[in-house]
Structure 1
Amino acid sequence: MKQESLPQHPREPRERRLLRGYMQTERLASFEIVIRNISARGLCGTCKGLPPIRGEFAEILLPDNRTVTATVRWVNDQVFGVEFDESINLEIMMDTLQRLRDLAERNANWEVKSKHRVSDRRPDLAALRRI
């Protein structure tokens, strides 16, 4: 007996990243999520605390300050996957994040001496008492 297989749609290319976002559902107030990978049509995330429920409607604030609506498609402990209601332009998001990173690097001032005092003073061993 020949078994027919369902046609498989190719998966969207995913960007493997660790990005911070925020998510809220009707049941849960806004909470922080870590985006593990993202595509034009959805993302895989993880959270601390109560996870969303499969089938639940969610609003997600992406790292580029864009809000998208989505439906939770699967949950495994604190890891979950959502499908966006509308596709996003992933290239625009990655360009925005790169510009923000570049701006932060230009404005960073890594002067360790001005932030921390280095002391090479050694304790007087004769003054220490033995217990």
Structure 2
Amino acid sequence: MDASRFKPTPIPRESRRRKLTRYVLIDSQGQPVEVMIRDISSHGFSAAAVGTAPPINEVIRAVLDDGREVWGLVRWVDGNLFGVELETGG
């Protein structure tokens, strides 16, 4: 097979909305985690922790303005930056 004939299949990725918002998440111990949300999509978000970022696989809870709660799992950490995959209920 000639590599020049290879055509990658695009994997559609939902666009992320850039957002810089101060927020308080709750970790699995019930402790607040102050963050700045950097970007967000329906599947997750990335944030910068004001202090230490939560560890990988930490369960994070957020209470939305309308009172609903969403849960997620920390998937990556780089210094005080981290990414959360949200539970989709499926």
* TM score, norm. by length of structure 2: 0.75
Of the two, which has the highest radius of gyration? 1
Segments of structure 1 that go 5 or more residues without pairing to the other structure are 88-131
RMSD over equivalenced CA pairs, Å? 2.5
Return the structure number with greater strand share. Answer: 2
Counterpart amino acid of residue 76 in structure 2: W
Structure scoring higher RCO (CA < 8 A, sep ≥ 6) equals 2
Matches of 2:33 and 2:63 in 1, distance apart? 10
2:6 aligns with none
1:35 counterpart = 2:37: yes
How do 1:92-103 and structure 2 match up within 5 A?
Answer: none
Matches of 1:82 and 1:67 in 2, distance apart? 15
Return the structure number with greater helix share. Answer: 1
Identity of aligned residues (%): 35
* TM score, norm. by length of structure 1: 0.54
Matches of 1:72 and 1:21 in 2, distance apart? 16
Segments of structure 2 that go 5 or more residues without pairing to the other structure are 3-8
